[in-house]
């Protein structure tokens, strides 16, 4: 096992920023009151929660009362999609989405389809984009459209402002899973005409177990749980004060440092792509580098080798990457995202996702490029998938 450690799985989770950690530590100790209690210790917690709500609202140009705290992006997606259906979405109206959404969007929609709701899932091209003309046509029949801001596996950034404009004109409620873009891309829910947005703190250097749902005033949903009156009765349960406080601080920092972080990640992304593409029979999934994709994302495939085998070898060199979404890491099935953009199962299984973060530097990506050449070469020498053996 190498003593050098290079973490390139930031799309799965990021390290907590030290400034965030400093902010939340008191809420594990001396500031431990239940934020729903009326005594001074409880009020102290609620004041901190409200300040975090204001920071988050400001970061995306929303109103504080439009922010609903949850435990994760997955919960936010489920709360919005199922909650909207429960609030009275007519079953004859479509729920509209596209093929490469996160499972936290696709699975709730599939559940609603089994209950009799009509759904429409748009096909995508090799870069992960659907036909906008088809979307506009279907949006006119949809009660709800859920389109992610950027894809978690291949980095495709969708034209959210244009999509929001179409939905607003058609009278369709527009939700976006922005788990991969909050804190990384500029988001203005008013200008982008977003009605609902999901996010998760641990994707932008905040703590795990904290997320939020932006819900535009006037959009009606029903909660999925019964209990107390927290979060407008839409998300009952004791407040995760330390998580919420950390999320507010993390997003405040991320938005201030966004431009510098993106420029740094773009340079690393370009360097890593150059080195990986020096390997024979390799390719990049999603949009071209430097175009409509996340600056921290690089999804690359390597013919004749298995992704899981590459990960094990890389781990020996202290390198952390992934074969796709961490939420599906226990599944041996090929990624639905990679299959959705037209890759054959064998090629999908030969893909790795490298996701950069602010703790990385150019030396890290050079090291990864060097070790990847070695890993792929070694595995191809022993692989039954190599040329002439299996087509």
Q: Which residues are catalytic?
A: 327
Q: Are 69 and 239 in contact (CB under 8 A)?
A: yes
Burial of 372 (0-12, 13-18, 19+ CB in 10 A): buried
Burial of 202 (0-12, 13-18, 19+ CB in 10 A): buried
Phi-psi region of 240 (alpha: psi -120 to 50; beta: other; left: phi over 0): beta
Q: Are 190 and 171 in contact (CB under 8 A)?
A: no
The CA distance from 349 to 324, in Å, is 10
The CA distance from 240 to 238, in Å, is 6
Strands 297-302 and 282-285: antiparallel
What is the separation of C-alpha 29 from the centre of its chain, rounded to a whole number of angstroms?
31
What tokens appear for 256 in the block?
Answer: 């201030």
* Count of Cβ atoms closer than 10 Å to residue 190 Cβ: 12
Q: Which residue has the tokens 């936010």?
A: 76
Starting at the earlier edge strand, list the strands of the sheet with 142-146: 67-70, 211-215, 196-200, 173-177, 142-146, 94-98, 118-122
Of 342, 343, 339, 270, the closest CA to residue 302 belongs to: 343
* Count of Cβ atoms closer than 10 Å to residue 229 Cβ: 9
CA-based end-to-end distance of the chain? 34
DSSP 84-97: HHHTT--TTSEEEE
Burial of 226 (0-12, 13-18, 19+ CB in 10 A): exposed
Alpha-carbon distance values, 269 to 1, 139, 264 (Å): 26, 35, 9
Q: Are 67 and 53 in contact (CB under 8 A)?
A: yes
């Amino acid at each position: 096992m190498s003593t050098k450690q290079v973490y390139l799985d930031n799309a799965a989770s990021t390290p907590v920023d030290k400034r965030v950690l400093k902010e939340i530590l008191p809420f594990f100790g001396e500031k431990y009151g239940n934020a729903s209690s009326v005594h001074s210790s409880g009020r102290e917690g609620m004041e901190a929660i409200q300040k975090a709500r204001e920071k988050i609202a400001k970061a995306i140009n929303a109103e504080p009362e439009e922010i609903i705290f949850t435990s994760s992006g997955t919960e936010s997606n489920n709360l919005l999609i199922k909650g909207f259906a429960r609030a009275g979405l007519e079953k004859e109206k479509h729920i509209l989405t596209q093929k490469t959404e996160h499972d936290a969007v696709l699975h709730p929609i599939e559940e609603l389809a089994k209950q009799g709701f009509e759904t429409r899932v748009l096909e995508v091209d090799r870069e992960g984009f659907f036909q906008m003309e088809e979307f506009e046509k279907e949006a006119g029949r949809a009660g709800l459209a859920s389109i992610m801001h950027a894809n978690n596996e291949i980095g495709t950034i969708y034209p959210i402002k244009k999509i929001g404009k179409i939905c607003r004109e058609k009278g369709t409620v527009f939700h976006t899973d922005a788990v991969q873009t909050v804190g990384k891309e500029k988001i203005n829910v008013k200008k982008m005409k977003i009605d609902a947005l999901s996010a998760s703190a641990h994707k932008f250097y905040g703590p795990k177990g904290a997320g939020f749902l932006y819900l535009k005033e006037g959009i009606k949903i029903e909660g999925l749980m019964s209990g107390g009156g927290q979060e407008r009765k839409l998300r009952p349960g004791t407040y995760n004060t330390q998580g919420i406080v950390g999320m507010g601080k993390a997003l405040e920092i991320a938005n201030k440092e966004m431009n510098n972080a993106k420029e740094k990640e773009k340079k690393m992304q370009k360097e890593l792509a150059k080195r990986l593409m020096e390997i024979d029979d390799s390719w990049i999934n999603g949009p071209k580098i430097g175009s409509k994709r996340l600056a921290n994302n690089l999804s690359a495939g390597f013919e004749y080798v298995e992704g899981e085998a590459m990960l094990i070898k890389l781990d020996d060199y202290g390198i952390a990457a992934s074969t796709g979404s961490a939420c599906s890491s226990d599944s041996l099935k090929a990624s639905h995202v990679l299959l959705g953009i037209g890759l054959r199962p064998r090629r999908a299984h030969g893909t790795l996702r490298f996701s950069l973060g602010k703790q990385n530097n150019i030396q890290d990506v050079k090291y990864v490029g060097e070790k990847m050449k070695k890993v792929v070469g070694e595995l191809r020498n022993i692989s039954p998938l190599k040329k002439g053996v299996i087509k």
